[in-house]
Structure 1
């Protein structure tokens, strides 16, 4: 529990444990949501959790849990009728049926919880300890934000705000806001704004002031309709600008097509940026928070090899990553699609590493990168016990276990990368006429020179390079 001395505003987490979700998975989801909320700048004050067959249609939670949540935030715990009193008969009937269904679900949930209470000690039920503590001992400071670990419909969002008197976020909204705050490059900012506008558009609501306003030639457009039109225009403008930036990126990737490229991919906060800094010596941002890196950074492996090996750091993934964000960052993820080798970076110390690895693989399957050669890396080995390390190797004997902060581990990984590319290289001889000596830099850029000699025809080089690079160099210096 937080107290009034906390410099951060307080938030309450809300989660519904649906059928098929284990207690461990549910606890991990809420823990991850807590880290997201902390990254956004809030302190988690309490958690409200409930087991249900499905989310309540109107308010996510049943009436009892909704009232408990409202006690934490100082809300009334019920929904107010519409101020203008105008409801269609169909809506009134739907609301009456929904209310009746809610009451039945709440009664069933109460019976189920009572039955479970006979079988398990109360402190073993997920979320109950925090909930009991919160209801018995009021918080010194009221939480002003409620964060729900599910995607909410516009009506659910509005209903929860009415009932709690607090600002309500769903999981997607939190992730979108974090992306919005962390975007640095022009491309990332445009990508995030597209996802943000797509998220906000269906959630626009009329203000409590005038319901209509006249615009243009006497046409009656509501404020929301006008705002949605502005969003559509802005989206069109952003997509046009983004297409231009992405074309430049494609040109740069095409220029690097014959170079050796390694892409670091994985769950957010798995340590990709730390590994990037260790491998390349670059000053990339390293922070112990979710989604610290949104921009793709490309740097050369250090000490440099011949040919050069380029390392790229990509945006991290997360459970329930909003589809619009995946779509918006498609050009960034293409860096993985076009890599020579993918390094799946996994936080081996995280108890949910298996599900995190599956999330990474799922997103990469979505963009068609599942066929790119890959290696599995378990990072943060300094946090592992010998038993945990042995268990990982038994599950994945082909994996590398390392710490990005251990120089010996990083040196071993560097050697592994070099050996991977060495296995695909071929040797050949190339003659560079004396008239073309000015282009010798191209050879050193894309191949390793094993030996050189001179005769009447020019400089004779024995090279080692990838087949495609060797073929291109041979064509470039044909006499």
Structure 2
């Protein structure tokens, strides 16, 4: 595996088999997604090979003719790279095709046979995604979740990998390779099971810790939460930065964000709103990753409101919308109130094309928001919509703060919207807007302050 950060991206090729039950548009969309994944991993896709078959080849995924075609291409590309390189006559390491990326999950034997047939390394789609997650995970929780997913991917492949390794892989661990000991493969699988169990215990402890931190954040009355969800690269991080005024990573790469980021809505409102960005979704996300990353989506489960961010400029946005809906349903967030936010409208052609796209979207999704996270006016409108959502259950009331309890004045401003203030001989009188429970709690505290 080559490092991601290089001055010059490594050349790669993509190959996929289109089965009869897969439409042309769905097939091409999946290929485009894999090319974007390759870019995130640091590869430049220089060619795509497609084969239509009734089923995958059981020995090497692609048919023999397509394997030969790819091998010819790899050899020609290697020759061209050496010819273009200074001192090519003595430089066997000149760049050629570094990797063949397969747009499906394949077995170790298929990968090994394919590597032998085409003359370069092979990665399937699942391994590409796992590698991206591995490189981008920053927090302790995300790294543990990625490791579980990678180990889960490896475990069922060890037996088949041992077959490829020959007698060495099946050797027993008893004295001299004989006896009742475990085979190397069995030892490796047991170590993987033990490591997964150890990591899961760590994750369980981290989940409790996060729940405690979340409870502390929510101890203050009048706190609300919004979670940004959606397809990876839909502009969630850009929108997060625009809504909160914070510096969060914004990159034109799939899965640039893996760790949940939480910031306060800015300008702050009553009630105070926390906004969280979550890991993006993708078609055919390996099930092990959906399971492992469920805890990174806990913010979506706990949120009072979801902003489902969709790339309006992507021709395949309806498929992306469907993928997100399915994953949210899988993690139990189907019933959380949701606003569909069609982002990147500024990427849809000229002004006339943008207007037409917006009209069509509003007709199909009447309650949606169509915007660009890079337009201040659009962000302000979404900000107002979020605040309005959380203020719909607020009530207006008067609070009497005795002169003996003036130290509690800041709590009124922190937890309520102050509409007016006046004073008399007994204390200050505030007309406020806030949640009923918050107002009642403040009244009780004022009474106890007066008694003290």
TM-score (normalizing by structure 2): 0.83
Secondary structure of the corresponding residue to residue 49 of structure 2: strand
Q: 1:470/1:371 Cα in 2 relative to 1: closer, same or farther (>3 Å)?
A: farther
- Count of residues in Structure 1 that have an aligned counterpart in Structure 2: 415
In 2, Cα distance between equivalents of 1:445 and 1:160: 63
Q: Which residue of 1 aligns with 2:92?
A: none
1:164 equivalent to 2:122? Answer no
Deviates more, 1:32-41 or 1:8-17: 8-17
> CA contact under 8 A between 1:14 and 1:146: conserved in structure 2?
yes
> CA contact under 8 A between 1:306 and 1:444: conserved in structure 2?
no
> CA contact under 8 A between 2:15 and 2:100: conserved in structure 1?
yes
> CA contact under 8 A between 2:172 and 2:180: conserved in structure 1?
no
Residue segments in structure 1 that go unaligned for 5+ positions in a row? 1-5, 75-133
In 2, Cα distance between equivalents of 1:441 and 1:147: 59
Alpha-carbon offset, residue 31 of structure 1? 0.9
Q: Which residue of 2 aligns with 1:147?
A: 101
Alpha-carbon offset, residue 53 of structure 1? 2.7
Alpha-carbon offset, residue 34 of structure 1? 0.5
Alpha-carbon offset, residue 218 of structure 1? 6.1
Alpha-carbon offset, residue 388 of structure 1? 2.6
Q: Which residue of 2 aligns with 1:405?
A: 374
1:188 equivalent to 2:139? Answer no
Q: Which residue of 1 aligns with 2:339?
A: 375
C-alpha offsets along residues 103-146 of structure 1, whole Å, 9 cap, x if unaligned? Answer: xxxxxxxxxxxxxxxxxxxxxxxxxxxxxxx89x9864642311
> CA contact under 8 A between 2:310 and 2:342: conserved in structure 1?
yes
Q: Which residue of 2 aligns with 1:254?
A: 215
> Following superposition of structure 1 onto structure 2, how do residues 14-413 of structure 1 map, counting pairs within 5 Å?
14-74=15-75, 140=81, 142-204=96-158, 205-206=161-162, 207=165, 210-211=168-169, 212=171, 214=173, 219-257=180-218, 258-384=222-348, 385-386=353-354, 387-413=356-382
C-alpha offsets along residues 135-177 of structure 1, whole Å, 9 cap, x if unaligned? Answer: 9x98646423111111223332333233333222111111110
C-alpha offsets along residues 76-121 of structure 1, whole Å, 9 cap, x if unaligned? Answer: xxxxxxxxxxxxxxxxxxxxxxxxxxxxxxxxxxxxxxxxxxxxxx
Q: 1:46/1:273 Cα in 2 relative to 1: closer, same or farther (>3 Å)?
A: same
Q: 1:7/1:451 Cα in 2 relative to 1: closer, same or farther (>3 Å)?
A: same
C-alpha offsets along residues 316-341 of structure 1, whole Å, 9 cap, x if unaligned? Answer: 11101112112112122110111111
Residue segments in structure 2 that go unaligned for 5+ positions in a row? 1-6, 82-94
TM-score (normalizing by structure 1): 0.79
In 1, Cα distance between equivalents of 2:154 and 2:401: 60
Q: Which residue of 2 aligns with 1:123?
A: none
Q: Which residue of 1 aligns with 2:84?
A: none
Secondary structure of the corresponding residue to residue 221 of structure 1: coil
Q: Which residue of 1 aligns with 2:420?
A: 451
Q: 1:435/1:192 Cα in 2 relative to 1: closer, same or farther (>3 Å)?
A: farther
C-alpha offsets along residues 273-329 of structure 1, whole Å, 9 cap, x if unaligned? Answer: 011111111110000111001111111111222321211111111101112112112
Q: Which residue of 2 aligns with 1:122?
A: none
Secondary structure of the corresponding residue to residue 51 of structure 2: strand
Secondary structure of the corresponding residue to residue 65 of structure 1: helix
In 1, Cα distance between equivalents of 2:118 and 2:214: 50
Q: Which residue of 2 aligns with 1:463?
A: 432
> CA contact under 8 A between 1:73 and 1:144: conserved in structure 2?
no
Q: CA RMSD in A?
A: 2.8
Q: 1:35/1:395 Cα in 2 relative to 1: closer, same or farther (>3 Å)?
A: same
